[in-house]
């Protein structure tokens, strides 16, 4: 059995995903268990287990991920607003050990979450 995360298997095209964006640094695809009408995951192709594991040298990549979310929001017409969520670690609800950003929109998103 492979020790690759499901996200690495999506990057490697071993399992299908509804990909909405890809470049050299990241991949974005629709969540298979959406928590809102629009629920897209943006993942770096570089394997970083969680935000807490990022290094100082990863700052340009982290900025690129946020900029990708911003551009996707425009592309998807999320004019009413959207939420970006990063869960880091099990206590925060991170279920896949590969850094990922949730782009959520299309319904009122209450505060506080969870």
> pLDDT digit string (tens) for 49-61?
999 999 999 999 9
- Residue 65 structural domain: 6-105
Residue of 39, 64, 98, 100 marked catalytic: 100
110 in a structural domain: no
13 in a structural domain: yes
114 in a structural domain: no
Cα separation, 47 vs 61, whole angstroms: 11
15 in a structural domain: yes
65 in a structural domain: yes
- Looking at residue 75, its pLDDT comes to 97
Strands in 1-114 per DSSP E? 19-22, 26-30, 38-44, 83-85, 101-105
- Looking at residue 114, its pLDDT comes to 66
1 in a structural domain: no
81 in a structural domain: yes
112 in a structural domain: no
Cα separation, 39 vs 100, whole angstroms: 12
Whether 100 is a known active-site residue: answer: yes
Q: How many domains does the chain have?
A: 1
Query: Which CATH number goes with the domain that contains 87?
Result: 3.30.428.10
């Amino acid at each position: 059995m492979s020790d690759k995360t499901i996200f690495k298997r999506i990057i490697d095209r071993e399992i299908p995903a509804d990909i909405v964006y890809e470049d050299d640094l990241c991949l974005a695809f629709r969540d298979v268990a959406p928590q809102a009408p629009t629920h897209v995951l943006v993942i770096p192709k570089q394997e970083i287990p969680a935000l807490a594991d990022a290094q100082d040298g990863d700052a340009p990549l982290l900025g690129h991920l946020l900029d990708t979310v911003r551009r996707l929001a425009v592309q998807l017409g999320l004019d009413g607003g959207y939420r970006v969520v990063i869960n880091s670690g099990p206590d925060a609800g991170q279920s896949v050990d590969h850094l990922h950003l949730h782009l959520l929109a299309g319904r009122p998103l209450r505060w506080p979450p969870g």
